[in-house]
Amino acid sequence: MVWSKKILGEISWAGAQPRLRFSSPSHPGKGRKLAFVSMTEQIVILDFGSQYTQVIARRIRECQVYSIILPFNTPAAEIAKLQPRGLILSGGPSSVYAADAPLPDKAIFELGLPILGICYGVQIFGHFLGGKVEPGEKREYGKGTLTVTDPGCALFRKLPAALQVWNSHGDKLTRLPAGFRPVARTENSEYAAIQDGQRGFFGIQFHPEVVHTPRGKEVLSNFVHRICGCGRNWTMRSYIDQAVEQIRAQVGGERVILGLSGGVDSSVAAALLHQAIGDQLTCIFVNNGVLRAGEAEVVREVFGKHFRIRLHYENAATLFLKRLQGVLDPERKRKLIGRTFIEVFEAALRHEARAKFLAQGTLYPDVIESVPIAGNPAALIKSHHNVGGLPKKMRLQLVEPLRCLFKDEVRQLGKELGLPDEIVWRQPFPGPGLAVRVIGEVTRRRLDILRKADTIVIEEMMASGWYRKIWQSFAVLLPVKSVGVMGDERTYDYTIAVRAVESQDGMTADWVRLPYEMLEKLASRIVNEVKGVNRCVFDITSKPPGTIEWE
Ligand code: XMP
């Protein structure tokens, strides 16, 4: 089951801000210890390999309930020790009758806990409790309508009888497990939702966690609140307290270093780590000469002066720009910047020889790389592209306190930690910086021109409220000179392209329909205020076929 993030949908932070509460940074990693035994009112999610099990956890966080994700085969005795209020069996790509199908400890059904089986989770009920699962004649994939046939079912309390749902399954239940009865159906399946009221077991074929099941969160809320009896106790503060506890447990008295880029993710990770371990943390900030206007100053002000974090500022601008001389090819630019970054970072690290840990602001969407294989549902992990390869070489262990969070959650967390809006709401910015936005050779003069235009774009987007609503907006300097007229003078100057895109995750994007008045203001300010520019164009290419950056 391969789903795009678009279908699963991270809650977009455009417009009204979602009110979120946070859950634990738990991750079903190998050898993970079962922590936080003392937590009450938690839900355990067993992961059967769904690429987006974390999306279920996220929805539970939105219900202000704490949850923990554990591998599918966690022994029932271990689960019992956590004293959860309920269990959720995630979806997964396998067929329950396949030889290598991931199966849970069958004693989970004897724990006396309410259980919600989602998609593959329904097959688990069928397999263990006397039902029958067979390949369906017709795959049920995509949008469908669920008809609730038993309005008394607690899972659908206060929901309409007809619900839009998202399905993705080939196999289906053909005989109900003992004690179960159907409570909802779809066109293709008379057992689209089933329940065993006695034991508090519920099975749903559809996926309540994805955005294409618009009222799915209410189904999950009914499960955790009405059926499991959880209150709404999980708050952002709890998330911080717990993350702090976990960071301290992981690093003990050792020193940690973090490559601070000034972007949202590494900044939030820095503030969180600092709260946990204070001066054991050193941040390294490399000025690569291709930063935006004022970026280095903001980082030094916020982290050095305000938070009083040990900050190692490495100004390598001259080195980077020297190496970029005469380089036109985008791939060469990238490689050169990447290599030089590692070189400079490593040199800076020599002053931090005692460090045992490298912290990174890896988010959940960075963690998902490919669909886990049946029978081996552990998430595959990709290294962070900006400092990829470093930890392995330097034998540093990773600390990744944001790895179960989505971008909008990280922004909320940053706000709670006291980071200024300027950092919390920063749009994504590529590691190779303005070098990918100066097309052709990167020179100091061209960078100066682009910085001025970029500042105008940011100012105008912020003043109009567009900045927070969209994924990215920026200026690109084209190496094309054309003729213009200013006052009585003929000019022969560069062109600035303005790009503004909406996106969920940067994988696909559409250009933003900015109002004409806004475009007019941008063009007028850029051409009037930026010396060396006499023309401004607006990019109306979507991705694909275009990319977001021009390079
Ligand atoms: P493209 O240009 O590939 O960009 O459509 C997709 C998203 O990724 C950002 N980007 C980068 N981010 N290091 C990063 O951290 C990079 O090397 C890099 N290159 C592109 C880009 O800004 C957009 O949001």
- What SS3 class is residue 40? coil
Q: Which ligand 1 atom sits nearest the alpha carbon of residue 334?
A: 17
- What SS3 class is residue 223? helix
**Residue 295 CA, distance from chain mean position:** 24
Q: If you ran DSSP here, which 8-state letter would residue 438 be given? A: B
Nearest CA to ligand 1 atom 6: 506
Q: Which ligand 1 atom sits nearest the alpha carbon of residue 549?
A: 2
Using 50, 70 and 90 to split pLDDT, how confident is the model at 15?
very low
**Cβ of residue 81 lying under 6 Å from some atom of ligand 1:** no
Comparing 18-27, 122-131, 210-219, 513-522, the range with the smallest average pLDDT is: 18-27
Which domains does the chain show, CATH number per domain?
Answer: 5-12+235-424 (3.40.50.620), 42-227 (3.40.50.880), 437-538 (3.30.300.10)
Residue located via tokens 């996926």 = 207
φ/ψ (deg, to 5) at 245: -60, -45
Q: For residue 511, what pLDDT is reported?
A: 97
In 82-131, the DSSP E strands lie at: 86-89, 115-118
Comparing 36-40, 50-54, 72-76, 99-103, the range with the smallest average pLDDT is: 36-40
Nearest Cα to 311, choosing from 272, 285, 287? 285
Nearest Cα to 380, choosing from 45, 4, 51? 51
**Cβ of residue 335 lying under 6 Å from some atom of ligand 1:** no
Active site residues: 119, 207, 209
Nearest Cα to 522, choosing from 502, 541, 540, 538? 538
Kindly list the distances between the CA atom of residue 496 and the CA atoms of 414, 476, 477, in Å, as whole numbers in the listed order: 33, 6, 5
Q: Which ligand 1 atom sits nearest the alpha carbon of residue 472?
A: 24
Report the mean per-residue pLDDT for the chain.
Answer: 87
pTM comes to: 0.78
Kindly list the distances between the CA atom of residue 233 and the CA atoms of 298, 412, 418, in Å, as whole numbers in the listed order: 36, 17, 22
- Tokens representing 53? 């099990």
Whole-number Å distance, alpha carbon 549 to ligand 1 midpoint, is: 7
What's the whole-number mean pLDDT along residues 350-371? 78
Q: What is the CA radius of gyration of the chain?
A: 26
In 176-253, the DSSP E strands lie at: 181-185, 193-196, 201-204
Residue located via tokens 């030089």 = 340
Cβ proximity of 344 and 327 under 8 Å: no
Nearest Cα to 2, choosing from 536, 468, 474, 507? 507
Using 50, 70 and 90 to split pLDDT, how confident is the model at 5?
very low
**Cβ of residue 428 lying under 6 Å from some atom of ligand 1:** yes
Cβ proximity of 357 and 396 under 8 Å: yes
Can you name the residues that pair with 176 across neighbouring β-strands?
none
Q: For residue 34, what pLDDT is reported?
A: 34
**Cβ of residue 543 lying under 6 Å from some atom of ligand 1:** yes
Name the residue of 286, 384, 503, 548 to mutate for ligand 1: max ligand atoms within 8 A of Cβ.
548
Cβ proximity of 50 and 74 under 8 Å: no
How many helical (H) and strand (E) elements, i.e. helices and strands, does the chain have? 17, 18
Neighbours of 369 (CB within 10 A): 12
Q: To 10 degrees, what angle do helices 407-416 and 264-277 make? A: 50
Using 50, 70 and 90 to split pLDDT, how confident is the model at 404?
confident
